[in-house]
């Protein structure tokens, strides 16, 4: 076997040293380069999967918050409609109350005006009666004076 190696020009001692160097270099590269690179790749893979999971969670949270937002807006809209309806009801009640007050004031003013007109009419009739009585007395006096003269 050594003749065969010698024929091809292979130095077995040098080959053994080179194999040992290659093995040593392989172990060093495996320990200091390949393992840390694999660890970095695994860490990156974990970070990427966490990022994807966080993005999916954020998308779900966004969808849930959008649904909540729509629900809150709907609730606020219904409350606003209720408030507007309540305000309209109160406005109608206040309008009716004001109309009743205005009617009662108008009726009171009309009654007062009617009473004043009646009083003025009575006073005018009394005054007319006095004037008619005075005119009758003057006419009677003239008649009596005309007869006595």
pTM of the model as a whole: 0.43
Q: Would you state the pLDDT for residue 116?
A: 94
pLDDT band per the 50, 70, 90 thresholds, residue 1: low
Q: Which domain, by its residues, includes 37? A: 2-148
pLDDT at 30 over 80: yes
Q: Would you state the pLDDT for residue 149?
A: 59
pLDDT at 78 over 80: yes
pLDDT band per the 50, 70, 90 thresholds, residue 52: very high
pLDDT at 98 over 90: yes
Percentage of the chain with pLDDT > 90? 72
Q: Would you state the pLDDT for residue 57?
A: 94
**Better-predicted residue by pLDDT, 112 or 143:** 112
pLDDT at 19 over 70: yes
Work out how many domains the chain is built from and give that number.
1
Least confident of 7-11, 15-19, 74-78: 7-11
- Per-residue b/e over 68-88, b at no fewer than 16 CB within 10 Å? eeeeeeeeeeeeeeeeeeeee
Q: Would you state the pLDDT for residue 144?
A: 83
Q: Work out the mean pLDDT of the chain and round it to a whole number.
A: 91
d(CA 20, CA 2): 20
């Amino acid at each position: 076997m050594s003749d065969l190696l010698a024929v091809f020009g292979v130095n077995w001692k040098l080959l053994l040293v080179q194999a040992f160097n290659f093995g040593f270099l392989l172990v060093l590269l495996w320990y200091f380069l390949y393992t840390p690179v694999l660890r970095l790749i695994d860490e990156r893979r974990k970070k990427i999967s966490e990022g994807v999971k966080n993005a999916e969670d954020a998308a779900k949270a966004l969808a849930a918050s959008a649904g909540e937002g729509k629900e809150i807006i709907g609730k606020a809209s219904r409350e606003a409609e209720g408030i507007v309806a309540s305000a309209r009801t109160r406005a109608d009640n206040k309008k009716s109350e004001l109309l009743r007050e205005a009617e009662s004031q108008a009726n009171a003013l009309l009654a007062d005006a009617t009473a004043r007109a009646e009083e003025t009419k009575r006073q005018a009739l009394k005054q007319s009666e006095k004037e008619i009585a005075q005119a009758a007395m003057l006419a009677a006096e003239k008649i009596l004076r005309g007869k006595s003269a």
